[in-house]
Structures are given as C-alpha cells and as structure tokens.
Amino acid sequence: MPDAFITRVLHINSGSQERVVDLTRDCETFLHEEAADRDGLLNVFVPHATAGVAVIETGAGSDDDLLAALHTLLPADDRWQHRHGSPGHGRDHVLPALVPPHATLPVVGGRLQLGTWQSVCLVDTNKDNAGRQVRLSFLG
C-alpha cells in the first residue's frame, strides 16, 4: 500500500516585487506523481511569517486586484509597529491574518478538485525575501 502521508517542499523565487505566484501546476504534478488515483486531501503550507496561500482566479486580473486590495487594507507606510526591513514591511507580517499561510483542498482519484477558474497561489508582499518554501502534503 502506498504511503498515506507524502510531502514535498517547493522552492519558489518570488522576486523583489509583490507577487501572486500560481502553484496549481506544481500541485497537480505532485498529485500525479504521489497520489496514485487515491482520494484524500492536499495541504499547501507556506512556513513564512510574511506570505500566504489563496485559492483565486488568475490571469484575468484577479491576482492584481488581490494585491491592490491588500494595498488598501495594509498600506506600505510607517503606521506599523514592526519596523525592520523596507519601509512599510510591518504590513507583510499582518498579511497571514488575512491571507492564511495554508489551504487544504480535496483530491478525488488523484486529481485536485478546484472550480473552473480557481488556482492555488502563493501571495507574497514581502519585497525583502525572494526565497520562499511551499510544503505540499498529501494525506490519502
């Protein structure tokens, strides 16, 4: 019987600009290689204090809209108590309260069960840290 719990760490370079990085293909590849037509759950976790995971539409402007909304909710200015890093970096430490650092998604027959326009994305507003890890874990 295949392992009931399998995990893999992705290394993502998100660059020096705020970004929404589509991880859907990475998730699908992981499940294709490891889920073996089983049902279960995929957990996507970002072990960083300044990044999150969102399930949103990409490619039609929604990813840019998300970043714009985060700018409205969390302006990059000097209001934040957390002050190390680039100006306004304290907002990046509040981000995971709004965009959690994890998502758990259903897998049926080894395939990720997303809606038609949904994508699994890393949301990274921290311009000071381009190197990110994303842990994919399948339980099934």
| Number of structural domains found in the chain | 1
| Structural domain harbouring 49 | 5-139
Q: Report the side by side order of strands in the sheet with 131-139.
A: 5-13, 131-139, 40-45, 102-108, 111-112
pTM, rounded to two decimals: 0.93
Cα-Cα-Cα-Cα dihedral sign, residues 31, 36, 37, 40? negative
pLDDT value at residue 26 = 98
Q: What is the pLDDT of residues 81-131, one digit of tens each?
A: 887 878 888 999 999 999 999 999 999 999 999 999 999 999 999 988 889
pLDDT value at residue 2 = 61
* Cα 75 to Cα 97: distance, rounded to the nearest angstrom: 15
Cα-to-chain-centroid distance, residue 88 = 21
Q: What is the CATH number of the domain that holds 16?
A: 2.60.120.460
Instruction: State mean pLDDT over 47-60.
Output: 95
* Cα 4 to Cα 35: distance, rounded to the nearest angstrom: 9
